[in-house]
Amino acid sequence: MRQQGKPLGGYKIVKLKPFKNESPLDFSKPQVATKMQKAIEAVRGKLGKEYPILIGDQKFFADEKLRSYNPAHKAQVVGIFQRATQEHVKRAVETAYQAFERWSVQPAEKRVQRLLRVASLMRKNRLKLAAWMVFEVGKSWAEADADVCEAIDFAQFYAQESLRLNAPQPLVKIPSERNELCYIPLGVGVVIPPWNFPLAIMAGMTFASIVAGNTVVLKPSSDAPAVAAQLMEIFRQVELPPGVVNFVTGAGSALGDVLVTHPRTRYIAFTGSKEVGLRINQLAATIQPNQRWIKRVIAEMGGKDAIVVDTDADLDRAVDGVVASSFGYQGQKCSACSRAIIVEKIYDKFLSRLVERTRKLRMGAPEERGIDFGPVINDQAMRKIVAYIGKGQSEGRLLLGGKIHQEQGYFVEPTIIADVAPTATIAQEEIFGPVLAVIKAQDYDEALRIANNTEYGLTGAVYTKSKRKIKQAKQKFHAGNLYFNRKCTGALVGVHPFGGFDMSGTDSKAGGRDYLLLFTQAKVMSEKIK
């Protein structure tokens, strides 16, 4: 970070270097792997600690507790948390509302500087943050490191975007008036993140909120509160003012409605299932007594993503892309490929290579070096996935996997089901697990029609060497993030702004230049001068 310029509000104008994504670590290098193993052992020694609710500068403990478990070792407690009551939630919202009066008028430069310090601390603690995700949500080393990289990127990118939005905005000039447009914060935001990107998505929604001048009540997933607690500790270390981010833990079913319907809640930033997202949207649309605004909902709700492979595709590259997209982090990504749509001419050859490549995945507890494929998040998820596999076996041909291993954790084998009809259950409903439906298309045109044949529209990919067919897919493949000759997962902040269409959410485009606008409102001021 470089600082230059005249003081503004007591703070120097911040000028940042051009944004650059954090580079992933190479764990095949012995020295890098050794550092990661040390970080894992350091975090292992902190497992089982109890964490309070954090509201303003106060800590609260509840009578009922919530335990977070390691999905690879289901009896291992990662952390003990409080089951917040509705009174805790109401207090958190009121505290955030009071803090908003102070935080919202701070110069943008001050908020930016604070966020850059957060990014610096995350970078310093990168491996330990990744290790927490290895234990709490079963991420492989590479997946966990990528999650931390994305969180750091969000901090850096949104800091840069905040400065852009707080600079003088271009307006048409007229001689008789002095006019300006500025983006002001909204108020108290509720941030409800998922467990599958427990640092990156949680941090991204929170960073966007606070750098824009809002205050937050953060309600992390009950499957990933320990990762959220690490971010709260970083906020403490950078001396984020009390009440700017408040931390309440507990079941979403018990706390969600209270958070969404509170009259002082101005907006809800949510990532999760379609069902919960639609309920939030419905509740937020109902005006409560003493509510003075129309609440804003920023929602990312899932997908049923497809990869189309045409006859002229590089088959080895396509197979690698499908395997990575389908089974990376056990298929527990809203962007995961759950439908491979293969043109008939290459269908059998593709299936053979797909099975061969998938067999090479190494399944095990992810704290071990070299594990590609870990557990699913919990028992409920495992049972749901198993039910879909059973349904899939009646709708198609099981080629690989289908078994579970639950002696120690929640392990579901990478599963491939071929000859699936485009309208089959496993081709339409989001499974959120390592189950791939393979669909045969007569030709490329039919493949694109099948790709669009769901209620979702998040990500997709096409493998073809034809420029004409790429152009055709750009026009007809309806997805918020569409990729060519690469996997459909792994969106980079600033490079691939992320968000989908239809039942995939509000197309919020996280990590893009439009995102901070969702956390602000534009105010125009005019002064007569002639």
Q: Give pLDDT tens digits for 91-105.
A: 999 999 999 999 999
295 and 384, same domain (yes or no): no
| Residue 257: inside a domain | yes
Per-residue model confidence (pLDDT) at position 4: 35
Q: How many CB atoms lie within 10 A of CB 182?
A: 16
Please confirm, yes or no, whether 488 is among the known catalytic residues: no
| Residue 5: inside a domain | no
294 and 355, same domain (yes or no): no
352 and 391, same domain (yes or no): yes
The catalytic residue among 334, 367, 395, 430 is 334
Cα–Cα distance between 530 and 524 in angstroms, integer? 19
372 and 518, same domain (yes or no): no
| Residue 18: inside a domain | no
Closest to 457 (Cα-Cα) out of 424, 499, 496: 499
Per-residue model confidence (pLDDT) at position 471: 98
Closest to 48 (Cα-Cα) out of 69, 18, 22, 21: 69
345 and 487, same domain (yes or no): yes
186 and 57, same domain (yes or no): yes
355 and 463, same domain (yes or no): yes
3-state secondary structure 397-410: EEEECCCEECCCCC
pLDDT beneath 50: ranges in the chain: 1-11
321 and 265, same domain (yes or no): no
339 and 428, same domain (yes or no): yes
Cα–Cα distance between 147 and 493 in angstroms, integer? 11
413 and 383, same domain (yes or no): yes
Whether 339 contacts 439, CB under 8 Å: yes
Assigned token pair, 194:
């998922």
| Residue 26: inside a domain | no
Number of domains in the chain: 2
Per-residue model confidence (pLDDT) at position 15: 75
| Residue 234: inside a domain | yes
Q: Is 230 helix (H, G, I), strand (E, B) or coil?
A: helix
Cα–Cα distance between 328 and 326 in angstroms, integer? 6
Whether 119 contacts 159, CB under 8 Å: yes
Single-letter residue type at 64: E
| Residue 517: inside a domain | yes
Cα–Cα distance between 79 and 254 in angstroms, integer? 20
Per-residue model confidence (pLDDT) at position 14: 64
| Residue 27: inside a domain | no
Domain ranges, residue 523: 46-301+508-528
297 and 309, same domain (yes or no): no
Q: 289: domain CATH number?
A: 3.40.605.10
Q: 438: domain CATH number?
A: 3.40.309.10
369 and 514, same domain (yes or no): no
Per-residue model confidence (pLDDT) at position 5: 35
The catalytic residue among 300, 395, 413, 430 is 300
pLDDT tens profile 287-317: 999 999 999 999 999 999 999 999 999 999 9
Please confirm, yes or no, whether 300 is among the known catalytic residues: yes
Predicted TM-score of the model (pTM)? 0.96
Per-residue model confidence (pLDDT) at position 403: 97
